[in-house]
Amino acid sequence: MTACPRCSNTNATVFHEGKEGEELIWTLFGCPDCHYHWRDSEPEESINPAKRKAVFQMDTSNPDRYHLILPVRE
């Protein structure tokens, strides 16, 4: 259970681990709810919810507030 820095849901999973030999360099996570991806080695402005600018946070409970790029056929 890993919390997403963007939508704060806790369903994120590991997508990839960056290694040099046996050494783990970073872990890459993906959030299945808001589709944010991040590496735990990134600067805090990208991955720390407390440091991220509020306007970039997401609320996935209300999808309709996000513009649909191509209309979906009924």
Partner 1 sequence: MNKQSEISIEVAKKVGSLRDFLDLLESKGQFITWPDEVMPEPDIRNILVAAGDDDKNGPAILFDKIKGYPGKRMVAGVHGSFSNIATLLGYPLGTPIRDLFYDIVGRWTTEAPQLPRIAPDKAPIHEVRIEENFNLFDLLPLYRINAMDGGFYIGKANVVSRDPHDPDNFGKQNVGIYRIQPHGPDTFTLMSVPVHDMGRHMLAAEMDDVPLKIAVMLGNHPAMAMFAATPIGYDESEYAYAAGMMGAPIALTESGNGLDIQAEGEMVIEAEYIHGERQYEGPFGEFPGSYSGVRRAPVFKITGISHRKNPIFENIYIGKGWTEHDTLIGLNTSAPIYAVLKKEFPEVEAVNALYQHGLTAIISVKNRFAGFAKSVALRALGTPHGLVYLKNLIMVDADVDPFDLNQVMWALSVRTRASDIQVLDNMAGIMIDPAAVIPGMGHHLIIDATTHMAPEPIGGDVEIVRRPAGQEIDDLSQIIKSMQKEARK
Report how far residue 9's alpha carbon sits from residue 30's, in angstroms, rounded to the nearest whole number. 11
Q: Site mask, partner 1, residues 6-25, x = CB under 8 A?
A: x--------xxxxxxx---x
Residue from 7, 29, 38, 47 touching Zn ion (CB under 5 A): that is: 7
Instruction: Please report whether residue 36 would count as binding Zn ion according to CB under 5 A.
Output: yes
Six token digits for residue 40: 């735990």
Residue among 15, 69, 8, 57 nearest 40 (CA) = 15
Q: Residue 1: CB partners within 8 Å, gap ≥ 6?
A: 10, 11
Q: Identify which of residues 3 and 28 has a Cβ nearer to partner 1 in the complex.
A: 28
Instruction: Please report whether residue 54 would count as binding partner 1 according to CB under 8 A.
Output: no
Residue from 22, 50, 53, 61 touching partner 1 (CB under 8 A): that is: 53
